[in-house]
A and B are shown apart, each in its own frame.
Chain A
Amino acid sequence: MSNPPTLRLKTLIVATLKLDGVRPEDIPDDEPLIGSPRFGLDSIDALELVLALEKEFGVKIGSSEESRRALGSVNALSAYLRAHVSGF
């Protein structure tokens, strides 16, 4: 069962990337977001997700290395936002 911030992230991911047929709760907390064969997300999707995260949370993800770490999984993304967004 996802906690509310994690569920919010998953909902954002599904909405931003228009993952047809995928419900937020279908996204595992620890599965890689980019490059996973299950979701088929690629580098353009990663870029789109980063832009959506920046807009939603007012955070600046400045490099591909930083984004790769942040988008490692939902858990990794959640940890990244906790570290960079007050009140997340």
Chain B
Amino acid sequence: MNPSAALTRNLGPSWGCDFLLWAHHWWPRWVFQPLLMAGTWVGLALLPVQRAHSRRYLTTVFGRPARLVEVWRHFFALTTNLTLMLRAGRGAPVACRMEPDNAAGFDALVTSDRPALFGAFHFGGSDLLGYLLGERGRRVSILRLRVGNSTDTRLLGQRFAGKVSFLWVNNPSELLFDLKVAIEAGDSVALKCDRPEFSSKTEAFQFLGASRLFPFTIYHLAMLFERPVVFCTAVPDEAEDALRVYASPVFTPDPASDREGNTRAARRHFQAVLARLEVLVRRHPFLWFNFLPLNPEAPTAHGPASQRARP
């Protein structure tokens, strides 16, 4: 990327993350929690664009107009999740409990030495996928949007230095060759697959009642480099500092199949992943951490909508 390019910034003041960490550490919970809740109202008042996106998303999920207090809950869930990520970056242990479905396949892949592509979404504690992999000794390159004040990313990099590195998505043409280098070096790669704006290949999948465009790049990479793909989503557990992790079945390109066959299998796999994600989103609607327009609906009602027809 062009280092001189102005970087976008995460929402909130530059000292916000450090203050959150400090306050969580020093203030008793009965002080911290009400102030966090009040601060979320302030954030809600100061961020009208994100508030509008949240309201539209929640209206889609609920099937009725979202109320202001529900938009506040959406913002508050983000703040709570950010606090957990920051604390994890500082070394706080986060217990990750795998849900039994597909756990065996996920564990087998993670404990093998086979490099893989790990997919996630801006949902729940999925940002902590890198922590989960780092703690299991995986060398993983994580794709992130480089922003001007990403304290959580900096802390994660510090905690798992040598295991976790970052590839920046801001410049897609540079990124793909950085990815090539990382994959050929034997790294696993973790990338989020819900925001289409930085993806050169999008396809249409059923999600939240419509055919919507999602990035499909992870599967192109899987087929080009013959790497398995597995998705993880994580939601907060009842216990504090704990996550329940849901793994998808592992998708492995079949070397005996041609590109068309593997692409069809990849589409089926991703549709199943998104169907499972939708169940979780409807169960935990406030954990969808995209304060952006929901994925756009596909221009046509039928078939994949990749930018160029390709198998």
Q: Is B truly associated with A?
A: yes
Interface residues of A (CB under 8 A from B): 17-18, 20, 40-44, 46-48, 50-51, 62-64, 67-68
B311 touching A18 by the CB < 8 A rule? yes
**Partner of A64 from B176, B217, B224, B311 at Cβ < 8 Å:** B176
Residues of B within 8 A of A47 (CB): 176-177, 179-180, 224
B173 touching A43 by the CB < 8 A rule? yes
A43 touching B176 by the CB < 8 A rule? yes
Residues of A within 8 A of B175 (CB): 43
Cβ-closest chain B residue relative to A20: B309
Cβ-closest chain A residue relative to B179: A47
Bound complex: CA of A62 vs CA of B200, how far in Å? 21
B200 touching A42 by the CB < 8 A rule? yes
Residues of B within 8 A of A18 (CB): 259, 310-311
| Chain B, interface residues (CB within 8 Å), range | 20 to 34
B200 touching A44 by the CB < 8 A rule? yes
Given contacts A40-B308, A42-B200, A42-B307, A51 and B178 within 8 Å (CB-CB): no
Residues of A within 8 A of B178 (CB): 64
State how many angstroms separate the Cβ of B253 from the closest Cβ of chain A: 14
Q: Is the CB of B220 closer than 8 A to any CB of chain A?
A: yes
State how many angstroms separate the Cβ of A59 from the closest Cβ of chain B: 14
Q: Apart from A17-B310, A20-B309, what are 12 other A-B pairs with CB-CB below 8 Å?
A: A40-B307, A40-B308, A41-B308, A42-B200, A43-B172, A43-B176, A44-B176, A44-B201, A44-B217, A46-B173, A47-B177, A47-B224
Residues of B within 8 A of A63 (CB): 177
Give me 28 A-to-B residue pairs in the complex whose CB atoms sit less than 8 angstroms apart, sorted by A's number: A17-B310, A18-B259, A18-B311, A20-B309, A40-B307, A40-B308, A41-B308, A42-B201, A42-B308, A43-B173, A43-B200, A44-B176, A44-B200, A44-B217, A46-B176, A47-B176, A47-B177, A47-B224, A48-B224, A50-B177, A50-B180, A51-B224, A62-B181, A63-B177, A64-B174, A64-B177, A64-B178, A68-B173
Residues of A within 8 A of B177 (CB): 47, 50, 63-64, 67
State how many angstroms separate the Cβ of A58 from the closest Cβ of chain B: 15
Query: Which residues B165-210 have CB closer than 8 A to chain A?
Result: 172-181, 200-201
State how many angstroms separate the Cβ of B168 from the closest Cβ of chain A: 13
Bound complex: CA of A64 vs CA of B172, how far in Å? 10
Q: Which 8 A-B pairs have the closest CB atoms?
A: A64-B177, A42-B200, A40-B308, A47-B176, A43-B176, A43-B173, A64-B174, A43-B200
Bound complex: CA of A44 vs CA of B222, how far in Å? 12
Bound complex: CA of A17 vs CA of B224, how far in Å? 12
Bound complex: CA of A48 vs CA of B224, how far in Å? 7
Bound complex: CA of A72 vs CA of B244, how far in Å? 48
Given contacts A40-B307, A42-B307, A64 and B220 within 8 Å (CB-CB): no
Bound complex: CA of A41 vs CA of B309, how far in Å? 11
Bound complex: CA of A18 vs CA of B259, how far in Å? 10
Bound complex: CA of A50 vs CA of B311, how far in Å? 18
Bound complex: CA of A41 vs CA of B224, how far in Å? 16
Residues of B within 8 A of A46 (CB): 173, 176
State how many angstroms separate the Cβ of A63 from the closest Cβ of chain B: 6
Residues of A within 8 A of B179 (CB): 47
Q: Render B203-238 as a binary contact track against A, CB cut-off 8 A, 1 for contact.
A: 000000000000001001000100000000000000
Bound complex: CA of A68 vs CA of B176, how far in Å? 12
Cβ-closest chain A residue relative to B200: A42
